[in-house]
Chains A and B, each alone.
Chain A
Amino acid sequence: MNSNIVIAVVVSAIAFGTPLVLAGLGELLAERSGVLNLGVEGMMLMGAVTAFFVSQKTHGSTALVLLLAVLASMGAGVAMALIHAFLSITIRVNQIVSGLAVTIFAGIIGLSSYLGQVWNIGGVAGRHQFNGIDLFGLQNLPIVGPIIFNEDAFVYASWVLVLAVLYYLYRTRPGLYLRAVGENPAAADAMGINVNAYRYTHTLIGGAFAGLGGAYFTLALAPIWTDGLTAGFGWIAIALVIFAFWRPDLLVLGAYLFGVFSALGPTLETRGITVLPSEFYSALPFLMTVIALAAASTSWANRRVGTPASLGIPYTREEG
């Protein structure tokens, strides 16, 4: 019985962790290029609302509709990221303020809510959603069956993306250049690397990933649209990048750990176990983020931190 609860928590932790993995990976790539993007929450909401719109209004087979919805969510994320990239890279607005502006523009009382109203998709159940796949026919294996072999395509895709980003960062030449741009843009420029092209590209890729993270909410986690449904996950994703020390492998672990914190309350509640008030469980991921951020900034951890040296600083050749 107890092991059942543990498995239920883990399964649900992977579900809650997946949007964090996706949005976190995107933010990691942008930050590796030196661009801090605080617009993640807004980009995720735009991804969520566009994905849901496309999945509700397009006709065709479920697979085709879902594919289109996923592509649309990436497009919405890229569009938001483009605003941030233009403001912060090209005309050098303070990256913190520019990112916040994107979140306010697209956020809970912004464009995502507006589009939800205009498209009239609020409060209705989704017509299509990603369901668990019986991978290799192994879903009935004890313990690992439900955890590893019965996830939806989105989760498997996120695992592939993690491996792809790891390979890209540490095993390819553009990945090396990306790290160089983040650490020392002047040196990278001197080598002939187009600094701002790298920053634009990775900020936009980050937007696409955040859009995907948002789409996971409306296409898999709970197929319905309500204003502000990402409920702070975008912010946790940004924090994750910091205490994963800008490493994709640690980011995945962190995302699932925070998935556990998010999953604990709902899982216990559906089983009628109410030791602590539900607000405590709701606040838990945010409290743990504060604690994790504090722990990651102690001197012990600081020696291991890989903060890109140029993070948050616009690059201009003339002014060095």
Chain B
Amino acid sequence: MTGPLRLERRLDTPKWLKLTVPLVSIVLAAIIVGILLAATGHNPFSTYHQMYSASVTADGALTSTFVYATPMLFTGLCAAFAFRMRTFNIGGEGQLYMGAVGASAIGLVLGDWPRPLLIVAMVVGGALAGMLWACIPGLLRAYLRTNEILTSLMLNYVAGFFMYYLIYDSTSYWRDLTTPGATVFPTGKTLGANATWPGITIGSFTLPMGFVLGIGLAVGLLLLIRGTRYGFEMRIMGDSPQAANYAGIRTKRKIVSVMAISGGIAGIAGSSQIGDFGHVLDPRGLEQAQYGYTGIVVAALALYNPLAVVLVSLLIGGLTNAGFALEGPSFPTGLVGTMEGIILFTVLGGEILARYRIGLRHRAIAPASVGPAPATEMSS
């Protein structure tokens, strides 16, 4: 079947293995990336050292690591929550765009509101926009059983083009048409000072408000999953949709609600992009950042645990920060995604292997199999 390797499910994974496997996986990934670096003519040790300094120790490096980690925290939670419920929302990218569109509209329209109220309104506005966008694949999934992976992904592209249309190809409310320069090089309207989210500054380090909000959301999600009837029913649905049906759980509404919550979280990522960092709807910047897709990486590496998402978002945020800081001939942008991919491969593989005992295939095991064919034929 699988050649000479034989996998046997462990009844329970020992604690030491649960901790060592992710660490070993990351070290293994670092070695593989090191080989790739060396093969393309870079010194892996100095590259790693530069990356560490660019994401942690250099002047302002930690602050900008948090700038990248904040949206990834939200999109990571978006994917982690949905994937855990076996609803594969990979539309975080588009839901983030729509959240940014919604939050910037509110920031512009209600610009003279008191600051705290306006900030709340922006968060809610972004969340609602992301939620509505995610409801399209959610409703299709629940009532027609349409594959939500593909529909949510397709809508990322649609949301992206919508955003481009608003700024580059129309005289929309979002676009700045006041200066002659802005008609030649289209940009969005910049939000007022009231719409700027406050950060927590300690010395030279600034913690964005969005990141604090994200930690709050992560705790809330964990409580929702572990401590409520809703979460319990969701987990049953994730493990066995049939059992959930027999138990009388309204699975259709649940699927829509998972998508809505997940999309709402991605929408807040968009709010935070506007309120914390950009203060303007910038389609090109949002698209190049690919935060929605990176959220899937974050969620998978965190094994879909909301609290682990907080830590992993910092790891991947640091990697991305280093990528942008070092961008140039010796550190092409593509290296960031390549590293993310390799870490994913080793962690995903390691996580599964931790759940199985691995051994060489013994002939004696074969009679336990279902098929009557001799084992020698199967283990090619």
Contact = CB atoms under 8 A, between A and B. Distances in A.
B255 to A, nearest CB: 14
Contacts of B1: 194-196, 315-317
Contact of B369 (A109, A192, A318): A318
A90 B168 CA distance: 48
Contacts of B108: none
B38 to A, nearest CB: 13
28 contacts: A83-B345, A87-B345, A90-B3, A93-B348, A93-B349, A100-B300, A104-B294, A104-B337, A108-B290, A110-B341, A113-B334, A114-B335, A189-B370, A227-B333, A227-B334, A232-B154, A236-B154, A277-B170, A279-B161, A279-B162, A279-B164, A283-B162, A287-B158, A289-B154, A293-B147, A294-B151, A297-B145, A318-B8
Interface in B124-180: 136, 140, 144-147, 149-151, 153-155, 157-158, 161-162, 164-165, 168-170
Contacts of B3: 90
B337 A105 contact: yes
Given A93-B352, A277-B169, A319-B9, A109 B2 contact: no
A299 B161 CA distance: 31
Q: Is the interface of A mostly helix, strand, loop or mixed?
A: helix
B380 interface: yes
Contacts of B373: 189-192
Interface of A: 38, 83, 87, 89-93, 96-98, 100-102, 104-118, 186, 189-192, 194-197, 227, 232, 235-236, 238-239, 242, 277-280, 282-283, 286-287, 289-290, 293-294, 296-298, 302, 315-320
B348 A109 contact: no
Contact of B290 (A109, A118, A239): A109
Given A117-B334, A189-B370, 16 more contacts: A91-B356, A92-B7, A93-B348, A96-B149, A101-B341, A105-B345, A110-B338, A114-B338, A117-B329, A195-B1, A232-B157, A235-B153, A278-B169, A280-B161, A317-B370, A318-B8
A197 B337 contact: no
Interface string B296-334: 110010000000000000000000000000000100111
Contacts of B337: 104-105, 107-111, 113-114
A197 B370 CA distance: 18
B348 A290 contact: no
Contacts of B144: 294, 297-298
A140 to B, nearest CB: 38
B146 A297 contact: yes
B377 interface: yes
Nearest to B6: A318
A117 B9 contact: no
B338 A100 contact: no
A108 B294 CA distance: 12
Contacts, number: 188
A79 to B, nearest CB: 13
B105 interface: no
A117 B332 contact: yes
A91 B349 contact: yes
B311 to A, nearest CB: 19
B336 interface: yes
Given A227-B334, A283-B161, A319-B9, A290 B352 contact: no
B368 interface: yes
Given A105-B338, A110-B334, A114-B332, A320 B345 contact: no
Interface in B206-252: none
B58 interface: no
Query: What DSSP secondary structure best describes chain B's contact surface?
Result: helix
A100 B296 contact: yes
A277 B3 CA distance: 55
A243 B316 CA distance: 36
Given A227-B334, A317-B1, A105 B161 contact: no
Contacts of B336: 109
Nearest to B155: A290
Contacts of A282: 161
A89 B2 contact: yes
B293 interface: yes
B28 to A, nearest CB: 14
A38 B337 CA distance: 16
Contacts of A197: 380
Interface string B1-38: 11101011100000000000000000000000000000
Nearest to A298: B144
Nearest to A97: B300
Contacts of B158: 283, 286-287, 290
A190 to B, nearest CB: 4
A290 B154 contact: yes
A103 to B, nearest CB: 8
A93 B335 CA distance: 24
B120 interface: no
A114 B151 contact: no
Contacts of A196: 1-2
A296 B378 CA distance: 38
